[in-house]
Structure 1
Amino acid sequence: MSATASAADAWMRIRGLTKSFAGELALDRADLDIERGRVHGLVGANGAGKSTLIRCLAGVTTPDQGSVTIAGSELQMGSPQASERAGLAFIHQELNLIPHFSALQNMLLGAPKVTRFGMIDWKRSGVAARAAAERVGIRFPLDTKVSELSVAQRWLVMIGKALTRDASMIAMDEPTASLSEPESEQLFAIIRDLAAQGVAILYVSHRLEEVLQLCDRITVLRDGRIVSQAERGALDKKGLVRAIIGHAIRTPDARDRLAADRGRQPVFSARSIAWKQAVKDVSLDLYKGEVLALGGLVGAGRTEFAHLVAGLARPEAGHLELDGKRLDVANPSEAVKAGIALVPEERRSQGVMLQRSVAFNINISTLKLLRSVPGLPFLSDAKSRRQAESLVAHLGIKTPGVTAKIAGLSGGNQQKALIARWLNAGTKLLILDEPSRGVDVGAREEIHDAIRALARSGVGILVISSDVEELTLLADRVLVMREGRVTGELTGADITEARIIELSYHDAHDDQGEAA
């Protein structure tokens, strides 16, 4: 379909969609047209209304006002079954998979092929799922349990699951957040192929470069309202950022980089660390007050290395040092006692306790300091509240109050709460795995400010990120890994996206061969 398709030709027409929660407008009279055969980008800060709009389309949330028509027929609102019958499929940001089921079972869950007697036709279902897996580029056996898959592989299962359904529209929420560049390009090829077949794609992402590259049309939401709609090429990244946050974003220059004292003893060292086939002969030093980043593609061994440092696994070769002393931790609890903390990639399932308060999530690492009487297992509510409120103010965490459940906070504010958890805990080394995954550009800047503030207090920071731009903005030094090995080190003006990408594809053996 032509990029200039008129509203009259739109397959889906959204008119006046409005939704309030507790008196606060989450979506304010949204008008939007979606055509089949096009990739429609939906962007905005956390809390801008993107999720509310998608939940209304999915039938999970019933709008207060407004309507949605699909191919001329009005969609029954508030009914997931009606949305599915209308040909709408949704891939949400948080992975909705059953860990002990296989990839195949997860792909077929809820929509298997059936016989004329109503029984599951496993043969036809398997053929359909394997065809979808082939289109997504899944290379692992489909009988593999989801619990054994990486985050990137789980995302591929989610995408394959959507492809087993003959959907007229597929909404994708942050599908590339944990994918490597080649995997992302593979997904983009799939999306273009689906669009060429007449499928409408609603693409939600905080990665603005891929939105600009992929989408035929981009809609920007801010504070529940649609503030901009533009065809491909009408906006550049700066213009898109300005529309999202309402002002230009600050870009740190060289003066913002933290100056680590490398004349002293490193706060943390790794020497010839090896573990299975994931980590091979990794050595590095991290200094007090330094932000050291590990770059590379998904599967490079960065997360596995972080798990070795944090006590989730033990090295098979080599050794670790903290403050010049040998470090041998058998579990995360011992690592925390030694002064090492990990903020994991999957913050909702592995980091925050969603049904507990903001104060509880922040204070859990320092409960001994908050006792009413030293030595007795009774906490002082006043101390707990004061510490949480102080850290909330210090890091600019947006919350109705420290007693509110953390589940109600945006992803960026949940991440800042996880960072706050370690501010008063005597942490010497903080490891952050994909710290700004799934957050908007404004929240990313705030998270970076929080990380720099922690480094200025003397903590050594180890950051793992697949966002190459994030590495250039945040790190004092970057080590790039590929296939378990460090392929290069970048400092100062050499920390550029081009050099990081180059080293991400660079074989460490090449240097060894040249040296020989």
Structure 2
Amino acid sequence: MACEVAPARMVAEATDPGGAPASPGAWLQIRGLTKLFAGELALDSADLDVELGRVHGLVGANGAGKSTLIRCLAGVTVPNRGSITIAGQELHKGSPQASERAGLAFIHQELNLIPHFSALQNMLLGAPKKTRFGLIDWRRSGVAARAAAERVGIRFPLETRVADLSVAERWLVMIGKALTRDASMIAMDEPTASLSGPESEQLFAIIRDLAGQGVAILYVSHRLEEVLDLCDRITVLRDGRIAAEADRGSIDKKGLVHAIIGHDVRPVRDTDRFAADRSAAPVFSVRGLSWKDRVRDVSLDLYRGEVLALGGLVGAGRTELAHLAAGVARPDGGHLELHGRPLRLSSEAAAVAAGIALVPEERRSQGLMLQQSVGFNINVATLDRILSVPGLPFVSGRKGRQQADRLIGELGIKTPSAAAKIGGLSGGNQQKALIARWLPAGLKLLILDEPSRGVDVGAREEIHAAIRALARSGVGVLVISSDVEELVLLADRVLVMREGRITGELTGAGITEAAIIELSYHDMQDAAGPARGGETA
């Protein structure tokens, strides 16, 4: 039977239906939650308590069971065993409507908003509305939405189309939508993945304020620093089981990483970095490249064997530079060279034909066909290699399976089979499948935009290993990352951009978080001077 839950200010006395002891103020209790997919355990007897008025972090590797647990709470997935109790009443399983009535709201990384609808229309989507003369009375219907908007600090007019809002503003719309429905718990999946530093801080302030008002926040993120800083309690999932639980201040980042992957991350030594032979010809060169004041007179060389990374703040021009190199956009000035030959790209298809591939930042919307199989997504760029008869437009299923299975094995992609839908894979395995797509394609230059976005620390290590192996094999590798730690862990050389220009170069022991951050804020008038920790910009 679906439960109707009292508002957040009315905290029911926790009662445990069996299993682990309940937290004194637990509002939501999960006991023995178990879910199998095709005989594989996605959740294995998971227990979890969430209290009103607290921020509860949920972390774990991709495929650890976080998404399955959230889907069970949302009523989208029916568990095989276990119970979910809210305010002392058991939640009816497999009913999204029962979950919403119980006061649960869910904000996913891919925000479910209708772009051509206004913020107000999106906030009221699916909610009962007041009518007048048979038409929706938006003024009367929107009273609760406007109160929620004020509660989360929305400053833009609610009549603004969602398509005209920033990502941060769209997050505020989603939070306001949840509060319009009087949600007592809001689950947030990777809320800061697309936000700048100031936007993230604004969101953190809103989360703390909501918790102060008695709302429970279930916070899912791979950014461990913000989890440690923001969350009152942290639960770690590993292989479908609860691997660790900790209150604020009782665990540090190293301990959290160990709980997530079961071992410590190997630190990067300077001897692990590859020093390219600059006397040899570059694999890829950019000379005086400019585009719409977003890329300004950029020059760089990428050498064989090295991982060259672009650092800098959001909006520094790194993605625009990648798009120019991949044929997505055409430059206003300057030119490109590949293996010493001029490169004139009229389209993305021309770039692919030249041996250049881009793994985009938004892999789900820009890189993957989520309803297609893993094998299809891997093979789609090299269909000419798996034809039944060369020259005839018929694909060989056998050759396709062989190629996909080989690449799945090489990159360690965790999937039931090549025939499984790629939309069901974890973010890290989806990213590895995107990289695998280009390996048989005569690749000369691979550009990766935010390669570990939404990826756990364990999968990040595997992706980094694959990237290094590609570079060492002779493929040119250009990486863009807003994660300063990733730049330190992965790059052999770092170029930092600001306002469309390169402000400095870092190599060897000079690749540090402090140096990257300093160059990210480097004044333009100093850009011609020596770059700290490296060579002249």
Deviation at 1:203, TM superposition (A): 0.4
Equivalences for 1:449-460 in 2 at 5 Å? 449-460=465-476
- 2:393 & 2:104 partners in 1: Cα distance? 52
The aligned residue for residue 23 of structure 1 is 39
The aligned residue for residue 282 of structure 1 is 298
Say if 2:433 is the partner of 1:405: no
Say if 2:357 is the partner of 1:341: yes
The aligned residue for residue 291 of structure 1 is 307
Amino acid of the structure 1 residue aligned with 2:314: V
- 2:99 & 2:293 partners in 1: Cα distance? 45
Checking the alignment, whether the CA contact within 8 Å between 1:39 and 1:201 is kept in structure 2 is: yes
Say if 2:99 is the partner of 1:88: no
Greater shift, 263-272 or 447-456, is seen at 263-272
Relative to 1, partners in 2 of residues 1:9 and 1:484: Cα closer, same or farther, differing over 3 Å? same
Deviation at 1:343, TM superposition (A): 0.6
Say if 2:441 is the partner of 1:431: no
The aligned residue for residue 503 of structure 2 is 487
Secondary structure of the structure 2 residue equivalent to 1:93: coil
- 2:133 & 2:243 partners in 1: Cα distance? 51
Checking the alignment, whether the CA contact within 8 Å between 1:412 and 1:436 is kept in structure 2 is: yes
- TM-score normalised by L of structure 1: 0.91
- 2:520 & 2:343 partners in 1: Cα distance? 29
The aligned residue for residue 288 of structure 2 is 272
Structure 1: segments with no counterpart, 5+ residues: none
Q: 2:482 aligns with which of 459, 463, 466?
A: 466
Deviation at 1:185, TM superposition (A): 1.6
Equivalences for 1:361-400 in 2 at 5 Å? 361-400=377-416
- 1:105 & 1:292 partners in 2: Cα distance? 45
Deviation at 1:86, TM superposition (A): 1.8
Greater shift, 89-98 or 340-349, is seen at 89-98
- 2:133 & 2:75 partners in 1: Cα distance? 29
- 2:152 & 2:524 partners in 1: Cα distance? 29
Deviation at 1:186, TM superposition (A): 1.6
The aligned residue for residue 308 of structure 1 is 324
Two-structure CA RMSD over aligned residues (Å): 2.8
Relative to 1, partners in 2 of residues 1:214 and 1:104: Cα closer, same or farther, differing over 3 Å? same
Checking the alignment, whether the CA contact within 8 Å between 2:493 and 2:507 is kept in structure 1 is: yes
Say if 2:91 is the partner of 1:68: no
Relative to 1, partners in 2 of residues 1:136 and 1:485: Cα closer, same or farther, differing over 3 Å? farther
Structure 2: segments with no counterpart, 5+ residues: 1-8, 15-21, 532-537
Question: C-alpha offsets along residues 48-68 of structure 1, whole Å, 9 cap, x if unaligned?
Answer: 111111111111122223222
Checking the alignment, whether the CA contact within 8 Å between 1:178 and 1:298 is kept in structure 2 is: no
The aligned residue for residue 261 of structure 1 is 277
Say if 2:70 is the partner of 1:54: yes
Checking the alignment, whether the CA contact within 8 Å between 2:502 and 2:527 is kept in structure 1 is: no
Question: C-alpha offsets along residues 63-92 of structure 1, whole Å, 9 cap, x if unaligned?
Answer: 223222222333222221121122211111
Say if 2:18 is the partner of 1:8: no
Equivalences for 1:155-166 in 2 at 5 Å? 155-166=171-182
Deviation at 1:134, TM superposition (A): 6.8
Deviation at 1:443, TM superposition (A): 0.6
Checking the alignment, whether the CA contact within 8 Å between 1:58 and 1:90 is kept in structure 2 is: yes
Say if 2:197 is the partner of 1:204: no
- 2:172 & 2:447 partners in 1: Cα distance? 26
Greater shift, 186-195 or 138-147, is seen at 138-147
- 2:151 & 2:287 partners in 1: Cα distance? 42
Secondary structure of the structure 2 residue equivalent to 1:7: coil
Amino acid of the structure 2 residue aligned with 1:228: A
Deviation at 1:452, TM superposition (A): 0.6
Relative to 1, partners in 2 of residues 1:284 and 1:158: Cα closer, same or farther, differing over 3 Å? farther
- 1:138 & 1:258 partners in 2: Cα distance? 48
Relative to 1, partners in 2 of residues 1:212 and 1:481: Cα closer, same or farther, differing over 3 Å? same
Question: C-alpha offsets along residues 197-237 of structure 1, whole Å, 9 cap, x if unaligned?
Answer: 11111001111111111111001111221121111111111
Deviation at 1:126, TM superposition (A): 6.0
Amino acid of the structure 1 residue aligned with 2:413: I
- TM-score normalised by L of structure 2: 0.88
Amino acid of the structure 2 residue aligned with 1:274: S
The aligned residue for residue 173 of structure 1 is 189
Greater shift, 78-87 or 154-163, is seen at 154-163
The aligned residue for residue 248 of structure 1 is 264
Greater shift, 108-117 or 439-448, is seen at 108-117
Checking the alignment, whether the CA contact within 8 Å between 1:220 and 1:243 is kept in structure 2 is: yes
- 2:530 & 2:78 partners in 1: Cα distance? 64
Greater shift, 398-407 or 459-468, is seen at 398-407
Deviation at 1:164, TM superposition (A): 4.3
- 2:152 & 2:289 partners in 1: Cα distance? 34
- 2:109 & 2:448 partners in 1: Cα distance? 20
Say if 2:333 is the partner of 1:327: no
Question: C-alpha offsets along residues 162-182 of structure 1, whole Å, 9 cap, x if unaligned?
Answer: 354432111101111122222
The aligned residue for residue 458 of structure 2 is 442
Checking the alignment, whether the CA contact within 8 Å between 1:112 and 1:120 is kept in structure 2 is: no
The aligned residue for residue 420 of structure 1 is 436
Checking the alignment, whether the CA contact within 8 Å between 1:309 and 1:320 is kept in structure 2 is: yes
Identity over the aligned pairs, expressed in percent?
79
Equivalences for 1:67-216 in 2 at 5 Å? 67-111=83-127, 114=130, 120-123=136-139, 145-147=161-163, 154-216=170-232
- 1:415 & 1:127 partners in 2: Cα distance? 43
Secondary structure of the structure 2 residue equivalent to 1:8: coil
